[in-house]
């Protein structure tokens, strides 16, 4: 059974969001294990991470106080989920937005973790009550929805399951702060969460203005920043 004693972070899924999370946690000094089902996908992800972090270093945009090589040394890959979660304190799921796929992964994780490991999903729209339904460790489950890609945009929505323990929310909030993110607690789940609903409302109204008034100011990237901050 996986224990949280060693304090590493596990990323499940090596796509854009998974790689970005891995970079963020490494920037905060955490040991990171990147899990995917194919060894080649892991190799590709680690190479992409190396290239991106080198570019960030050259641009003076690398996060954290550690050097790029120190951060890269904290990130490893593992194609075996049981080995990957050994020693985990936090598991961040980043697989495609497919409810059944995510439920299958969380059921597998649920069977191999102890009662201290946080199970977190990066889902942008799936309700925690459906995503974590039936899990033994449901009190340790939470959605930590990032803006894509999280390395460059700090907001993270924290959305609990109705049975999520307050300590799970507190620990996740503290972890996000530690890696330089801006966590926002959503007190209860709502379809689409908060950020998506606000974004959709603004974009929808902007298109209506374009269609009716031939309004083009919204295309200027400084318009909303100057108006809303």
Are the beta carbons of 92 and 144 closer than 8 angstroms?
yes
Q: Is the pLDDT of residue 197 over 60?
A: no
Summarised one tens digit per residue, pLDDT across range 160-182 is: 999 999 999 999 999 999 999 99
Of the ranges 4-8, 24-28, 121-125, 207-211, the best mean pLDDT one: 24-28
Q: Is the pLDDT of residue 63 over 70?
A: yes
Question: CA torsion angle for 21, 73, 44, 59 (degrees, to 10)?
Answer: 70
| The pLDDT value given to residue 147 | 87
What is the domain partition of the chain in residue ranges? 8-185, 195-228
| The pLDDT value given to residue 145 | 92
Kindly report the backbone phi and psi dihedral angles of residue 6, in degrees, each rounded to the nearest multiple of 5, phi listed first: -75, -20
Burial class (CB in 10 A: 0-12, 13-18, 19+), 191: exposed
| The pLDDT value given to residue 189 | 74
Judged by average pLDDT, the poorest of 135-144, 205-214, 219-228 is 219-228
Long-range own/partner contacts, residues 211-219 (CB < 8 A, 24 or more apart): none
| The pLDDT value given to residue 227 | 52
**Could you tell me whether strands 155-160 and 141-146 are parallel, antiparallel, or unpaired per DSSP bridges?**
antiparallel
Helix, strand, or coil here: 30? coil
- What is the separation of C-alpha 125 from the centre of its chain, rounded to a whole number of angstroms? 13
Q: Is the pLDDT of residue 213 over 80?
A: no
User: If you average pLDDT over every residue of the chain, what do you get?
Assistant: 88
From start to end of 72-147, where are the E strands? 75-78, 88-93, 118-121, 141-146
Rounded CA separation 15/117 (Å): 23
Structure tokens at 187: 């007190």
| The pLDDT value given to residue 214 | 63
Rounded CA separation 142/160 (Å): 5
What single-letter DSSP state applies at residue 86?
T
Determine the topology of domain 8-185 in CATH: Rossmann fold (3.40.50)
Summarised one tens digit per residue, pLDDT across range 151-161 is: 998 999 999 99
Q: Is the pLDDT of residue 206 over 80?
A: no
- Segment 114-138 shows an average pLDDT of 96
Q: Is the pLDDT of residue 217 over 60?
A: no
Percentage of the chain exceeding pLDDT 90 = 75
Task: Give the contacts of 97 (CB within 8 A, at least 6 positions apart).
Answer: 123, 124, 125, 126
Judged by average pLDDT, the poorest of 163-167, 198-202, 204-208 is 198-202
From 137, 128, 120, select the one nearest 24 (Cα to Cα): 120
Q: Is the pLDDT of residue 140 over 60?
A: yes
Higher pLDDT, 137 or 224: 137
Quote the pTM value: 0.85
Q: Is the pLDDT of residue 226 over 80?
A: no
- Segment 192-216 shows an average pLDDT of 61
Rounded CA separation 195/183 (Å): 12
Q: Indicate the angle between helix axes 16-27 and 39-58, nearest 10 degrees.
A: 60
Question: CA torsion angle for 32, 38, 42, 47 (degrees, to 10)?
Answer: 180
- Segment 101-127 shows an average pLDDT of 96
């Amino acid at each position: 059974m996986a224990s949280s004693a060693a304090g590493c972070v596990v990323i499940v899924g090596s796509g854009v969001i998974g790689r970005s999370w891995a970079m963020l946690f490494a920037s905060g000094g955490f040991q990171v294990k990147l899990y995917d089902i194919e060894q080649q996908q892991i190799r590709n992800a680690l190479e992409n991470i190396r290239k991106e972090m080198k570019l960030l270093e050259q641009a003076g945009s690398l996060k954290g106080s550690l050097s790029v090589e120190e951060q890269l040394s904290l990130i490893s890959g593992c194609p075996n989920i049981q080995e990957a979660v050994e020693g985990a304190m936090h598991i961040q799921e980043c697989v495609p937005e497919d409810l059944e796929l995510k439920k299958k992964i969380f059921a597998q994780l649920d069977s191999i973790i102890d009662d201290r490991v946080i199970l977190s999903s990066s889902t942008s729209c799936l309700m925690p009550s459906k995503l974590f339904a039936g899990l033994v460790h449901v009190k340790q489950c939470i959605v930590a929805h990032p803006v894509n890609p999280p390395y460059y945009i700090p907001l993270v929505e924290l959305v609990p399951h109705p049975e999520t323990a307050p300590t799970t929310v507190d620990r996740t909030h503290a972890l996000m702060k530690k890696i330089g993110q801006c966590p926002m607690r959503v007190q209860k789940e709502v379809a689409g969460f908060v950020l998506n609903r606000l974004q959709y409302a603004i974009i929808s109204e902007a298109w209506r203005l374009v269609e009716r008034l031939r309004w083009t100011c919204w295309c200027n990237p400084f318009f909303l920043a100057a108006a809303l901050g």
